[in-house]
Amino acid sequence: MKSLIKPLAGLALAAVVSLPAMANDFPTTERVSFVLECMHAHPGPEFEMSSKCSCALDAIAREISFDEYRSMHTAALANAISGERGGYYRGKHWRGEVRKYDELLAKAKKGCFIDTSAVRR
């Protein structure tokens, strides 16, 4: 019985420690896409920028759920579509979502020391 206590305690500790990481997790593919887009937009040393861009997405994930992120990010991307198709996302409701996303992104980048003065698109 005593031989089971240590492994079970270790398992319980691992579960408790991993709870914050799982609390508002984004899919891996979305994390990779965000980091690659961020690194492309903000050139610099690869390791440094991958760390900073990962930091930015972690900061965003602490603030909003993945569903909120997906909605805001889609609206921000679609906002640039010209004509009637993009007009839907330039409506009153989506303008607020895009503004909120832009503010959240700016706050995350500032907190992770990403220089936004030289942005490549």
Query: Quick one: which of 33, 42, 41 has its CA closest to 69?
Result: 33
Provide the pLDDT for residue 121.
57
Torsion of CA 87, 89, 95, 97, to 10 degrees: 180
Instruction: Give yes or no for a contact between 32 and 68, defined as CB atoms under 8 angstroms apart.
Output: no
Global confidence as pTM: 0.73
Tens of pLDDT, residue by residue over 17-63, are 444 445 568 999 999 999 999 999 999 999 999 999 999 999 999 99
